[in-house]
Amino acid sequence: MSTLSNIFTLTGLTLDEAIQQLDQELPAGAYKAVPGAVDLTDIDPNWMRKTLNHVFGLCGYGWGYEYDPANLEYRYESRTNARGNEYGVWSAVLTHLKFWYRLQNDTASVTHVCSIHASGASENANIAYAMKGAITNALGNAVSNIGFQESVYLGLRSHKDFAPNGNGKVTPQPAPKPTLAPAVASAEPAETPAPVAELADPGQTVIHFGKMKDKTIAEVWKSGPAGQGWVRWAANTDGKGYDPQGKPEGIHLQRMARAFLSLQSAYAG
C-alpha cells in the first residue's frame, strides 16, 4: 500500500519537495503589478508552465489540462472609459477546465492521476488573446490549489519585493541592514505579542471588529457590492482605508484581506 512518504512525481520529487519547488521564488521579471491594482501581483504564466514541467515532467505526460470547446464562451461588449469615450472588448469565459498531474510510487509500478477543476475569464480587444487568457486564467486558478506561488496568494511575496536597476531590469531588493538600538534598562522583560496564526485560505479569516465582526472575509465578500467594498477598505491597497495602527490582529486581518484580493485577480488576463 502506498503512503505519502513513497509517492513521487514523475521527475522523482517527493511531495514535500514538489511543494517547495512550486512555491520557490521565481526570477524578478516573473512578477508584475496587476493592471489597475498596483498593490496586487500578477505572475508570468510562462514561468508557471516551466515550473510545472520541472516538477511533474513534460506537459502531456507528467501534467496537462483538458476542456470542452463548448465551455469556452465569448462575447463582444461595449464599455465607456473615464473620459466618456466608448470602446469595445472581447470577454471570454472558460466555465470548466480540468488540470491533471501524475504521481507514482517508489517502484514506478503504480501511477496516480490527480485532477483539479477550475474556471477562468479574460478580456482583450483581440478575441484570440481573450480566449487564450481565459484558458491561462483557469489553469492558474487550478494550480494555485496545489501551492504554485502560494506565498504570493498569502501576501508574503510581491512584485514590490523587487526594484528596477540602472539597466532597466529588476533585481531583488537587498534586506535592510540591522541597526543597533541603545540598550535600555528594564525591570521586567518586554512582552512579545503572540503571533497570529496564518490560514491556508485567507477567505476563512474571521473579522474581529465592527459591523462585520465574527464573519469571515469570504462571507463578507459574497454578501454583495457593499461587502466587497468593505474587504477592499480592510485591504487598504490605495492608502485610504483601514489602519491597523500596529495591532497584530489588525495587521493580520489586513494581510489576509490583501491575500484574498490577490486570489481574486492575481491571474488577471
DSSP state for residue 206 in the 8-state scheme: B
Mean pLDDT over residues 248-256, rounded?
A: 83
Q: Note the pLDDT of residue 70.
A: 96
164 vs 227 pLDDT, higher one: 227
Confidence of residue 164 (pLDDT cuts 50, 70, 90): low
Place of cell 509517492: 7
Mean pLDDT of 27-37: 80
Distance between CA 6 and CA 25 in Å, rounded? 26
The more confidently predicted of residues 184 and 223 is 223
Whether residue 22 contacts residue 146, with contact meaning beta carbons closer than 8 Å, is answered with yes
Take residue 259 and report the three cell numbers written for it: 491575500
The model's confidence at residue 264, banded by pLDDT at 50, 70 and 90, is low
Q: What pLDDT score was predicted for residue 192?
A: 43
* 83-127: pLDDT as tens digits: 888 889 999 999 999 999 999 988 777 889 999 999 999 999 999
pLDDT reported for residue 3:
64
pTM: 0.58
Q: Residue 200: beta bridge partners? A: none
Specify whether the CB–CB gap between 31 and 41 falls below 8 A. yes
Least confident of 8-22, 158-172, 189-203, 236-250: 189-203
Give whole-number Cα distances, 91 to 3, 96, 129, 136, in Å: 44, 16, 10, 14
**Helices and strands counted in the chain (H then E):** 7, 9
Whether residue 257 is predicted with pLDDT greater than 90 in this model: the reply is no
Output the pLDDT for position 37.
Answer: 60
In the chain, which residue ranges form alpha helices assigned H by DSSP? 15-22, 45-56, 127-143, 150-153, 217-222, 225-235, 248-265
| C-alpha cell at position 242 | 483601514
